[in-house]
Amino acid sequence: MPKPHDLPALLADIHREASDLFGQGRVASYIPALAEVNPHQFGIAIATIDGQTHSVGDAHTPFSLQSITKLFTFVLALKLEGDALWQRVGREPSGAAFNSIVQLETENGVPRNPFINAGALVITDILTTRYAHLDYALLGALRRLADEPGLHWNPRVARSERDTAHRNMAMAYFMKSHGNFRNEPEAVLDNYCRQCATEMSCAQLAQATLFLANNGRDLSRSGQPDEQFLGPDETRRVNALLLTCGAYDAAGDFAYRIGLPVKTGVGGGIVAVVPEVGTVAVWAPELDAKGNSVLGAFALERLVAATGWGHTSF
Ligand code: GLU
């Protein structure tokens, strides 16, 4: 790991270099409210398990987590269901777009993994059965992990996604026809759209995911006791899935370029886990053709090259 005093200078360099890439991607527009975001924003935050935090740029501006929430809902479902979960969702990379329907037909309504939309909908279906108010349950977990009591989901973004969620709804009905959906698709979609509309800053996201770098142990900074949020074995497995499936159909490219467990979202955020070291959250709204942040991916690639994190710790 670089010396602590080197990280701020490194982040400043990376931020400056990455800013040259503004204009190379496009802000997601299929959810109308996301298209209103100012594209020229870019933040990076690092949290380490030994208590350091570093940030640069717009690292304290809340953004729409979108698919990054799939990481947290998956962890909640894994805690509740254990291995029974794998009867309803697979754990293979899809090699297809995040919102692809095609595999569902040939694979009998069982999605490839929990991080593509179809798989995340099954996870939200599982949690809808378990929680009367899933949004409170999820926010409760996130507030605790991030040490941020004010975290919320954005009702305008949730409404905007819900009004245009035709493809996700189609997948939900299709899975229901195969017996892989327990609740009414409408109710699950309500929960899913609220979940995706959760907002956090890079600094908060890095903190909220730190347990994944720390063998599942959440390190509280607000005076509450630390908590074994997820078992060490489960944590290792979650990280393996993030490495292989966390970046849609660019997961192989991300593994090659960055080599860390990551989760990306169409809000332009990416969180990366450096096991035994810490977490890195990046956010810049302009996306490449596969729905991943252009500046964010570049920044992670540069950071890993400069620190060696991808090579030494996973
Ligand atoms: N809410 C988005 C959707 O379901 C999430 C997609 C993403 O962030 O990749 O399409």
* pLDDT score of 4 more than 60: no
Percent of the residues in the chain that have a pLDDT greater than 90, as a whole number: 89
Whole-angstrom distance, CA of residue 229 vs CA of residue 227: 5
Nearest Cα to Cα of residue 133 among 153, 117, 156:
153
Query: What residues are labeled active site?
Result: 67, 70, 192, 248, 266
* 266 Cβ below 6 A of ligand 1: yes
Strand-pairing partners, residue 45, are: 55, 281
* 249 Cβ below 6 A of ligand 1: no
Whole-angstrom distance, CA of residue 209 vs CA of residue 7: 19
Whole-angstrom distance, CA of residue 17 vs CA of residue 294: 12
pLDDT band for 2, please (50, 70, 90 cuts).
low
* pLDDT score of 229 more than 80: yes
Position 284 scores a pLDDT of 98
Question: Residue 115 Cα, ligand 1 centroid: separation in angstroms?
Answer: 10
**Predicted TM-score of the model (pTM):** 0.96
Position 5 scores a pLDDT of 55
Ordered by where they begin, the domains of the chain are 4-308 (3.40.710.10)
Question: Residue 3 Cα, ligand 1 centroid: separation in angstroms?
Answer: 37
* pLDDT score of 313 more than 50: no
Does residue 35 contact residue 29 with C-beta atoms inside 8 Å? yes
Whole-angstrom distance, CA of residue 191 vs CA of residue 84: 22
Position 224 scores a pLDDT of 76
* 161 Cβ below 6 A of ligand 1: yes
Position 226 scores a pLDDT of 86
